Structure 1
Amino acid sequence: MEARLFWIGIAMFAYAWFTKRWTASGRLDDKLRASLWHALFLGLAGFSVTLIAVLSVESRLKFVGASAGSLSWREVVAGFVGGSLLGAFGLWRAYSSAEGAEKRRHFLNEDLEWAETVYSAVILASLLMYFLVQAFKIPSGSMESTLRIGDHLFVNKFVYGVRIPFTDKRVLRMKPVAAGDIVVFRFPTDDPESQHCGGTQFGKDFIKRVVAVSGDTLEIKNGVLVRNGTALGKEPFTQFVDSFRGDAPALAPPPALYQELWAGGALDTKLGDSMKDHFGPVKVPAGSYFMMGDNRDRSCDSRFWGPVHEKYVKGKAWVIYWPPNRMGAI
């Protein structure tokens, strides 16, 4: 979402910049040019509003940020339709104005004021969302009962360091990612066709708890986590909804191949979900984390699709702000 807002702000900035210069030079005194320029502004506005509306609906249907790096066909089509309709209205409105040049000049001045307001607001909002704090909504029960369906929360995006744009580097790190942290991250794949958890997860945002960090060895025995040789026992935040624990895979790969498949995100293609209660041992690679949902029987997590490299981490779950009876720090 923050990337979309940023480019909307850049588009509005460009519109305002050209409007000022072309109005001063008289290039927009022509009836057709002025009408087309007004139509362009309303088209940009229509595209932007429709795009944000589609993203808002999608984010409420599933825990997903528009982070895949490219516009989906749904966003493009919806935005184009919204922009075209409003742009056509703007062209008709300006060109057919009975009051002539004075009215068209009024339209352009109005457009300029709106463009300057919008670009400053959305660029500021996108920077806040990219560097500091972002809001998310929980659509599934994989983190119950810590986080419930419908919870709205803020994510602290600077606690693990401020990300330098267009890089995977962070600066001003306040603390490292630690076991026990609840973290929001982009699904760990750069392959748009990668299939996990029953579908394509590329570009989606997930929220899970960190159970192991770089260098840790993790194993699951009959549903119990064993980290670095120590059984963690019954963890107070976990939830098990199945009344039984599954059997260990009958034909697990040799340890070296097991590690390789898991680190490459391909273990679930070999073992399905048979490693839900019996897993590993594996060693978490350098710069990566092992993520699991608190609702262990209903979470598709690092057991199935592998480690999460730190470049995919977006921030730490901070506070629930809605509904009122759930407000509080996480």
Structure 2
Amino acid sequence: MLTGPPPMGERLKPWRSLLLWLALALLLRWGVLEPRWIPSGSMLPTLQLQDRILVEKVRPRLGQPLPLQSIVVFHAPPALVEAGYDPRAALIKRVVGRAGDRLEVRDGQLWRNGSPVAEPWLAERIDYRFGPVTVPAGHLMVLGDNRNASFDSHLWGPLPEGDVIGTAVLRYWPLNRLGPIRFSTPGGLDPAEQLG
């Protein structure tokens, strides 16, 4: 017995599913999570060259304060754009100061508001002097974990908070380093977790 073509609804079912998944992927990419890769050694040893990470984009869009020590991805700030950087370029660094914080690098160490900052993720002492500077309202100070080889706020100044794309939350490649990115040591654990 011959049958006619399937009803229109049946023919569109596979396409509806595909379109739904595509819409979900785009929503995640544009609004919640964004994949990125690490193109330089400025965040060594925490993030290695060619690591693949996911960036959470909700907190900055809601205007929530970014925690100190969080690792942020951001658009090139005005000082870098003026120096020739592509304004769409994305960079990655660690938040070391927020509005009102007084920062200084001396004696090979970062100081915040007169106290030394414990930074167990650094592989070596800092070999430059910086500051003291006070972070202006609406700005952050960001430094690479590879302090002596990072082009960061100690050279180009404070980062406008509006330039932040999001915070690094997960390394998904390479698989042997798969896991959450916390405000962490190179091993990936929060200092508090290492104590307990």
TM over 0.5: yes
How far 1:327 moved relative to its partner?
Answer: 0.6
Partner of 1:226: 111
Q: Which secondary structure does the structure 2 equivalent of 1:129 belong to?
A: helix
How far 1:232 moved relative to its partner?
Answer: 2.2
Match for residue 151 of structure 1 among 18, 41, 51:
51
Partner of 1:202: 87
Identical positions, percent: 41
Is the counterpart of residue 184 in structure 1 residue 73 in structure 2? yes
How far 1:223 moved relative to its partner?
Answer: 2.7
How far 1:150 moved relative to its partner?
Answer: 1.2
For residues 142-175 of structure 1, give each alpha carbon's deviation from its aligned partner in whole angstroms, at most 9, with x where no partner exists. Answer: 10110000111111111x15x3xxxxxx36x4xx
Match for residue 239 of structure 1 among 106, 123, 135:
123
How far 1:324 moved relative to its partner?
Answer: 1.0
Instruction: Specify whether residues 224 and 201 from structure 1 end up closer, same or farther in structure 2 by C-alpha distance, changes over 3 A only.
Output: farther
- Which one has the bigger strand percentage? 2
Separation in 1 of the partners of 2:129 and 2:148? 12
Separation in 2 of the partners of 1:294 and 1:178? 16
For residues 86-137 of structure 1, give each alpha carbon's deviation from its aligned partner in whole angstroms, at most 9, with x where no partner exists. Answer: xxxxxxxxxxxxxxxxxxxxxxxxxxxxx98987665543322121111011
Separation in 2 of the partners of 1:222 and 1:202? 35
How far 1:202 moved relative to its partner?
Answer: 2.3
Separation in 2 of the partners of 1:157 and 1:190? 23
Matched residue type, 1:200 = Y
Matched residue type, 1:296 = R
Q: Which secondary structure does the structure 2 equivalent of 1:145 belong to?
A: coil
Would you say the 8 A contact 2:77–2:159 is kept in 1? Answer: yes
Match for residue 311 of structure 1 among 162, 169, 181:
162
Separation in 2 of the partners of 1:202 and 1:293? 19
Separation in 2 of the partners of 1:134 and 1:323? 17
Matched residue type, 1:317 = A
Q: Which secondary structure does the structure 2 equivalent of 1:126 belong to?
A: helix
Partner of 2:38: 138
How far 1:139 moved relative to its partner?
Answer: 1.3
- Equivalence map 1:23-102=2 (5 Å): none
Would you say the 8 A contact 1:212–1:290 is kept in 2? Answer: yes
- Equivalence map 1:104-115=2 (5 Å): none
How far 1:329 moved relative to its partner?
Answer: 0.9
How far 1:227 moved relative to its partner?
Answer: 0.7
How far 1:305 moved relative to its partner?
Answer: 1.1
Separation in 1 of the partners of 2:133 and 2:40? 27
Instruction: Specify whether residues 203 and 223 from structure 1 end up closer, same or farther in structure 2 by C-alpha distance, changes over 3 A only.
Output: farther
Matched residue type, 1:202 = P
Bigger radius of gyration among the two? 1
Would you say the 8 A contact 2:104–2:111 is kept in 1? Answer: yes
For residues 218-274 of structure 1, give each alpha carbon's deviation from its aligned partner in whole angstroms, at most 9, with x where no partner exists. Answer: 0111331111011225x21012389xx3xxxxxxxxxxxxxxxxxxxxxxxxxxxxx
Q: Which secondary structure does the structure 1 equivalent of 2:78 belong to?
A: coil
- Which one has the bigger helix percentage? 1
**Can you give the 5+ residue segments of structure 2 that lack an aligned partner in the other structure?**
1-14, 182-196
For residues 197-227 of structure 1, give each alpha carbon's deviation from its aligned partner in whole angstroms, at most 9, with x where no partner exists. Answer: xx52422111110011111000111331111
Instruction: Specify whether residues 151 and 222 from structure 1 end up closer, same or farther in structure 2 by C-alpha distance, changes over 3 A only.
Output: same
Would you say the 8 A contact 2:54–2:171 is kept in 1? Answer: yes
Matched residue type, 2:121 = F
Query: What CA RMSD, in Å, does the superposition of the two structures yield over aligned residues?
Result: 2.8
How far 1:314 moved relative to its partner?
Answer: 1.1
If the length of structure 1 is used for normalisation, what is the TM-score? 0.47
Is the counterpart of residue 293 in structure 1 residue 144 in structure 2? yes
Instruction: Specify whether residues 236 and 190 from structure 1 end up closer, same or farther in structure 2 by C-alpha distance, changes over 3 A only.
Output: closer
If the length of structure 2 is used for normalisation, what is the TM-score? 0.76
Aligned residues: 170
